[in-house]
Amino acid sequence: MAGRTDRTTDPHLRASLLLARRGQAYFSRKLNELRNDELDAPSLVPGWTRRHVVAHVGLNARALTRLTEWAATGVETPMYASREARDAEIELGATQPARALRHLSAHAAVHLNVEWRDLTDDAWGAQVRTGHGRVVPASETVWMRTREVWVHAVDLDNGGSYRDFPAELVDALLAEVVCAWHARPDGVAVPVLEPTDRSVLLGHPAPPADAGPAPRVRGRAADLARWATGRGGAGLLTTSDGSPVPPPPRWL
């Protein structure tokens, strides 16, 4: 008997689902390479151990599954009861035995994937609300998950690298970060990103009148994405005048 496949016929959505699933496989591989005792070590997320990252990624899959079920049934099922409840759930999840943490990561990912697979095209367009209060179509859950699994695979600090990311993912991350920078109300100058392996500049060379000059940051697109998402320049990037790379504006 042939395996069940995604019900959606939208080629763009099917490609997006593939990228999310590749990211889950990448995260799972980096997690499986770690011994149980290594989960207690710090991650690249300030204040979080690797245990916190694993718990967060698993619980994020559960939260996105709730949004997917909302889209499928029309019954409102929020991602989280509150931001405080989300944070408490991660802290509690991080205390689980290593075997339970690994089970959470694997099982939650499979459950989300099954819910995605069974969504109709109409349900993919249903409106749901994210944990930040944005009302979006259910199809947005795919990008939300894609970002989580790929970036947090690097946060496990186990050899994951933005240079492993597919080019379309790097470009999507850079576009999202620059858009978020422009949307900030504090008048901070948006850095101009100069990817040496792309033919376009990202950002805007004209900063707000009340902001300082916009820094110009050069480097490979993957390294720019790492820096822009707050994972460090690691000495790989320099501004166009040769000065040290400044911290990026806040992204999320």
Which portions of the chain are predicted below pLDDT 70? Answer: 1-3, 187, 201-213, 234-237, 240-241
Write the pLDDT tens digit of every residue in 30-56: 999 999 999 999 999 999 999 999 999
* pLDDT number for residue 188: 74
Say what angle helices 140-155 and 11-32 make with each other, to 10 degrees. 20
Q: Is residue 209 classed exposed, middle or buried when 0-12, 13-18 and 19+ CB atoms within 10 A define those classes?
A: exposed
- State the Cα–Cα distance between residues 246 and 234, nearest whole angstrom: 12
* pLDDT number for residue 107: 98
* pLDDT number for residue 212: 57
* pLDDT number for residue 205: 47
Whole-model pTM: value is 0.92
**80 by DSSP, 3-state: which?**
coil
* pLDDT number for residue 208: 47
